[in-house]
Amino acid sequence: MPTKKITLEEIAHMAGVSIATVSRVINQNGRFSKETEKRVNEIIAKYNYRPNQMARGLRKNRGKVVGIIVPDVTNEFFAKMALEMQNRLLNEDYMAIICNTNESGDIERAHLSMLKSMLVSGLIYITHESIDTNHTLIVPTIYIDREPLCISSQEENVFIESENTEGGRQAVRHLVDQGCRRIALVCLEGQISSHHNRCEGYKRGLRESGISVDESLIYCTKAVTYEDGFEVTDELLREHPDVDGIFYTADILALGALQYCLKRNVNVPEDLKIIGFDDIAACTRSIPQLTTIHQSVDMIAELAVKNLVSMMDGNPVEKSYIKFPINVVVRGSTQL
């Protein structure tokens, strides 16, 4: 008989299931298949695993607490998403701990460690691009907006996003319909999936419109801030004064661009048409109001909480990958 002291996490890894599933098998509650039960019990027998009774007591009395990890609470899109989910969790008698990572992988890892020590029941997660979730997934988890670099093979996770590629395509097609032919793109640098897919949609929209993709018209920012939107627009228009349309992969960048145009007397939409992505409330307060791609924050938050609560109750995941449709909201930045 092997003498190695094995952990619950190691059993889950060897069985190819989540820690929550192993716990359900040990405690004989919730749902799991006969095959899963057999596989888990074989590993338990092989390593003579004995649950820590104190730890089992803590888990049995685990509080109804969910962690919500967001990359930037100053970004209106993420702030609204977090608050919507918090309110819906409260309706389900769960408390939410909102953790802001400030787009830092190190801060994100620290939050994950803290949430693990608190024995949270579940996690809703808008991840940083550098996190490998194979090493961080500890409870039923919902990923939103940004697909992690490596989603765990464990079954207790769901990824929810908007139709980002289609949104990029529709943004370009709208600009083309408004007469634009020199269309630039401003996106967030790196491999964050939502921005990357919007960039791919931009290229697809150009090709469908018979316009060649000019890589020199694609500009990247280090962050999603009003200041970054302002500065990149200054650089872009100085280098390409003939550009007549710009697609920004986030509203905040586009709103920074509108501030630049107002300050530099660039006429929008007469001389330059601008479209964003997200449809945050600030779009209706800009001059002119910002045309954008609408994301259904309410629906995403509702489905995220519904799926997470179901998983925490021990129910199997029905769909592990969910996409929400988007639509163009036309305002003054593209149409007279």
pLDDT tens readout for residues 82-103? 999 999 999 999 999 999 999 8
Q: What is the torsion angle, in degrees rounded to the nearest 10, for the CA atoms of residue 47, residue 51, residue 52 and residue 54?
A: 180
Residue by residue, DSSP assigns 167-203 as HHHHHHHHHHHTT--SEEEEEESS--HHHHHHHHHHH
- In the chain, ranges of CATH 3.40.50.2300 domains: 63-162+297-324, 164-296
pLDDT at 23: 76
User: How far is residue 241's CA from residue 262's CA, in Å, rounded to a whole number?
Assistant: 16
Q: Are 119 and 59 in contact (CB under 8 A)?
A: yes
* Residue that is written with structure tokens 């992690």 in the block: 148
CATH class of 8-59: mainly alpha
Residue 32: CB partners within 8 Å, gap ≥ 6?
17, 21, 24, 25
CATH superfamily of 164-296: Response regulator (3.40.50.2300)
For the stretch 58-76, what's the b/e string if a residue is b when 16 or more beta carbons lie within 10 angstroms of its beta carbon?
ebeeeeebbbbbbbbeebb
Nearest to 255 by CA among 218, 290, 307: 290
* All CATH 1.10.260.40 domain ranges in the chain, comma separated: 8-59
Token pair belonging to 198: 């919007």
To the question of pTM greater than 0.85 for the whole model, the response is no
Q: How far apart are CA 329 and CA 171, in angstroms?
A: 10
pLDDT per residue over 224-281, tens digit each?
Answer: 999 999 999 999 999 999 999 999 999 999 999 999 999 999 999 999 999 999 999 9
Contact 252, 224 (CB under 8 A): yes
The residue among 146, 79, 135 whose CA lies nearest residue 112 is: 135
Using DSSP bridges, classify how beta strands 157-162 and 141-144 pair: parallel, antiparallel or unpaired: parallel
Which DSSP letter does residue 54 get?
A: H
Q: What is the pLDDT of residue 58?
A: 42
Check if CATH label 3.40.50.2300 holds for domain 63-162+297-324: yes
The tokens for 163 are: 């139709």
* Dihedral, 21, 22, 28, 29 alpha carbons, nearest 10: -30
Do residues 151 and 136 lie in contact, with contact meaning Cβ atoms separated by under 8 Å? Answer: no
**Spans of the chain, pLDDT less than 50:** 1, 53-55, 57-59, 61, 135, 153
- Per-residue model confidence (pLDDT) at position 54: 42
Rounded distance, CA 273 to CA 233, Å?
A: 12
